[in-house]
Structure 1
Amino acid sequence: MARILIVDDSPTEIHVLKTMLEKHGFETFSAETGEKGVEATVAEKPDLVLMDIVMPGMNGFQATRQISSNDATRDIPVIIVTTKDQETDRVWGLRQGAKDYLTKPVDEKMLIEKINALLAG
């Protein structure tokens, strides 16, 4: 069973994503800040990270860059899940090392398909 880290400062968003993922058999855990997300990724080595962008302190772009540039975590795929729907944000997110970019509200079927495709390699 794949373990997915949800990094988001909104308890509501965490709950929504957790519910979707657990319904499809994924194990989830969460972090409320970019800093805690990076720490949890290093410590727990999840199979995949769902990363919000707009958070206090370290934002999701910065956290994604740290995860994708760290030798210990660079192979863990990050999908950015955010309300920021501008093409420039999407391009920037992918440049930071994210493997995919989805805007909220997330389409459950699309999210699960993207996760499964990344986990399949």
Structure 2
Amino acid sequence: MPIKKILVVDDSPTERFALIEFLSKQGFSVVTAENGEDGVVKSKAEKPDLILMDVVMPGINGYQATRTISRDEETRNIPIIMTTSKDQETDKIWGMRQGAFDYMTKPLDLEELLKKIQAIG
């Protein structure tokens, strides 16, 4: 299944803007959410092909949102790449245990991100 629509869940307007700019130029349709709760809602409403999920956010964090999305019948087949400044091995292991497909640390290597997206789709 080719990746066409990507949901970016990040509380940083700067991160969202940078990812919208980069992904749009690559031909992807980009939808955004400002926090984990909004990310869960939009994952159901928008049915994206991929979710890029920040971890450190107010309210529901990225781990909780990933767990919710990956365990919901409606959204569990949507791959999630966690994109976060949390760079400890235990953070990555925890993210993958919540249902993440992959894990990248910030600042993101956009070329590496693109390769991961292409590998999924």
TM over 0.5: yes
Where in structure 2 are the equivalents of 1:2-21 lying within 5 Å?
A: 2-21=4-23
Residue by residue, what CA displacement relative to the aligned partner does 1:30-82 show, whole Å, maximum 9, x if unpaired?
Answer: 00010000000011100000000000000000000000000100000000000
Q: Which residue of 2 aligns with 1:76?
A: 78
Number of the residue aligned with 2:88:
86
Q: How many residues align?
A: 119
Tell me which residue corresponds to 2:34: 32
TM-score (norm 1): 0.96
4+ long deviations beyond 3 Å? none
Identity %: 58
Task: Classify the secondary structure of the residue corresponding to 1:5.
Answer: strand
**Structure 1 unaligned runs (5+)?**
none
TM-score, normalized by length of structure 2? 0.96
Contiguous gaps of at least 5 residues in structure 2: none
Paired amino acid for 1:21: L
Residues in 2 aligned to 1:36 and 1:82: alpha-carbon distance in whole angstroms: 17
Distance 2:19 2:58 in 1: 20
1:104 aligns with 2:121: no
Amino acid at match of 2:9: V
Q: How far is 1:29 from its partner?
A: 1.0
CA RMSD in angstroms, aligned pairs only: 0.8
Letter in 1 for 2:45: A
